[in-house]
Structure 1
């Protein structure tokens, strides 16, 4: 069975964001399994007809999000879900809580703001 990363670029969003979102979605859904080796930056850029810097920016964002991990000359791989993403989410939540408190929001108001943002992002 041959597995391939599928990325389709359209005019809706910035190309690097489309690459980032599509690879993240495929990794989170299991369409691309943990440990799968991604194409090189240059290889994917050539395949998509984009500049290597565009793909590199997407890969940096994915690595920052804990979706992929770079293993030096060995390549770039889909990272195990959970640990890095959970740490990043906890850090973001902590920063938000501190900022909300500095702004003078009470607990209920801060929670309402988070719930509204989650509904806007995830739907329902």
Structure 2
């Protein structure tokens, strides 16, 4: 599982949650997939285990993850990937935005502006 933390000012817990959600919506982490243990992921990321535990607990409260003693933490059965067409369009938007020098905030503003059309 590839998670990269940055010093953007966003709390580490939020970064971990957002990236796990992203891995699920892109289909990289399918329903039922086992995640690394809290200690394992904390060690991999160089953060305190409590930080990862808090992220996992929050995602569990949302129904994205399911934790069971003895079987670890897994992607919830109802967590689903984004449809392929939507993902392909998002990738196309990413490529066009990078090519034309449009940053993420501007791309999001464009999507929000045309969403109600």
TM-score after normalising by structure 1: 0.62
Kindly name which structure, 1 or 2, has the bigger radius of gyration based on alpha carbons: 1
- Deviation at residue 47 of structure 1 after TM alignment: 0.5
CA displacement, residues 33-72 of structure 1 (integer Å, 9 cap, x when unaligned): 1111000000000000000000000001110111110021
Q: Secondary structure at the match of 1:22?
A: helix
2:3 aligned to 1, 7, 18, which one?
7
* Counterpart for residue 13 of structure 2: 16
What is the alpha-carbon root mean square deviation over aligned residues? Answer: 2.0
Residues 91-110 of structure 1 aligned to structure 2 (within 5 Å): none
| 1:56 and 2:53 are equivalent in the alignment | yes
- Deviation at residue 123 of structure 1 after TM alignment: 2.9
- Deviation at residue 81 of structure 1 after TM alignment: 2.5
| 1:123 and 2:112 are equivalent in the alignment | yes
TM-score after normalising by structure 2: 0.65
Q: How many residues in Structure 1 have an aligned counterpart in Structure 2? A: 84
Uncovered stretches (5+) of structure 1, i.e. residues with no partner: 83-118
Task: List structure 1 segments (4+ residues) > 6 angstroms apart after TM superposition.
Answer: none
Contact 1:28/1:81, CA 8 A, preserved across alignment: no
CA displacement, residues 3-37 of structure 1 (integer Å, 9 cap, x when unaligned): xx111000121111100010011112211111110
Uncovered stretches (5+) of structure 2, i.e. residues with no partner: 80-107
In 2: Cα distance, 1:55 partner to 1:34 partner: 20
Structure with the higher fraction of residues in helix conformation: 1
